[in-house]
Chain A
Amino acid sequence: MAKLTILSDRCKGCGLCVEVCPKKVLGFDKKSLNAKGYRPASAIAPENCVGCAFCARMCPDCVITVER
């Protein structure tokens, strides 16, 4: 079981993390906007996360911290 911490207010909603996640853990938060007005990425299926950190390595804005 791995844990993702997403700093939503830094996220620009580019979706690179969503694209590269092999386990489809990440998606967009459809209910809220962040302080910058973007729809931030969020863990929609956190139970599937294996902690590979592909998302964090592709995130241009250092939004994601991964623990395993």
Chain B
Amino acid sequence: MAVVFEKSRSLTDEILTYCPGCTHGIIHRLVAEAIDDLGAQSSTIGVAPVGCAVFAYNFFAVDMMQAAHGRAPAVATGIKRALPDRIVFTYQGDGDLASIGMAEIMHAAARGEKITTIFVNNAIYGMTGGQMAPTTLVGQVTTTSPYGRKEELCGKPIRMSEIIAQMDGTAYAARVSVHDPRHVMEAKKAIRRAFEAQRGGEGFAMVEVLSTCPTNWGMTPIEALKWVATDMIPYYPLGVYKDSSKGAA
């Protein structure tokens, strides 16, 4: 018998600290598989965020740094410029990247830093207890929007992939989802392309992955996957927003 599927070499044996059914684990695995595919385990440096994924340095079997809240792209910039032959990635949530870290991500894209950013969007602040994030959908109930997010008070959620795709320094920007096996396979392709864009020196690459937060959404893991399909994807359309190898989008 041949092994069809086994855990990636670029993941450690640590048990993930995420809640049951949280798709962070799937996204970790896809990043690790992309590193395996590039044969880059010994030459990759990751930057962990603040948020649920703060312990990512325990889970990836590559060199890791941990940055202050939202500052992973700035730390990754320093690493990449000092060690330009390494593959450098940041792994950030929506509270980290789209709120406190908005300036860092925008300027990293504007400078065309040759780093890869994995942006995990679950429309809520997970670790701190389910507060409203910049990506929380209109009407979504969180601990700081107990009657649902109101557009007249808070505006509409920020679509980061579309914004990043507008920047000249961006080589690749895509939004993917991991709510069923087909979308997991597509997400894997996008993440691998984002790493290849960095290796080819094309510029900044970001993959936004729609993720779940069953605990703070108040749903079962299965209900949460369905909510991604029925509520999140209509507002956050999936697709490749920019790919420098295929001309401007």
A interface residues with partner B (beta carbon < 8 Å): 2-3, 10, 12-16, 19-20, 36, 38, 51, 53-54, 56-62, 64-68
Contact = CB atoms under 8 A, between A and B. Distances in A.
Given A53-B4, A68-B2, A61 B16 contact: yes
A65 B3 CA distance: 8
Interface residues of B, number: 30
Contacts of B3: 65-67
B7 A65 contact: yes
Interface of B: 1-8, 11, 15-16, 18-26, 29, 180-181, 184-185, 214, 220-222, 225
A57 B181 contact: yes
B20 A13 contact: yes
Given A53-B5, A54-B181, A67-B4, A60 B18 contact: yes
B191 to A, nearest CB: 14
A58 B26 contact: yes
B59 to A, nearest CB: 10
A3 B1 contact: yes
Contact of B24 (A53, A58, A60): A60
Contacts of A56: 4-5
Contact of B20 (A3, A12, A53, A65): A12
Contact of A10 (B6, B15, B184, B225): B15
A11 to B, nearest CB: 9
A67 B1 contact: yes
A14 B222 CA distance: 8
A59 B5 CA distance: 11
A14 B4 contact: no
Contact of A16 (B16, B21, B29): B21
B184 A57 contact: yes
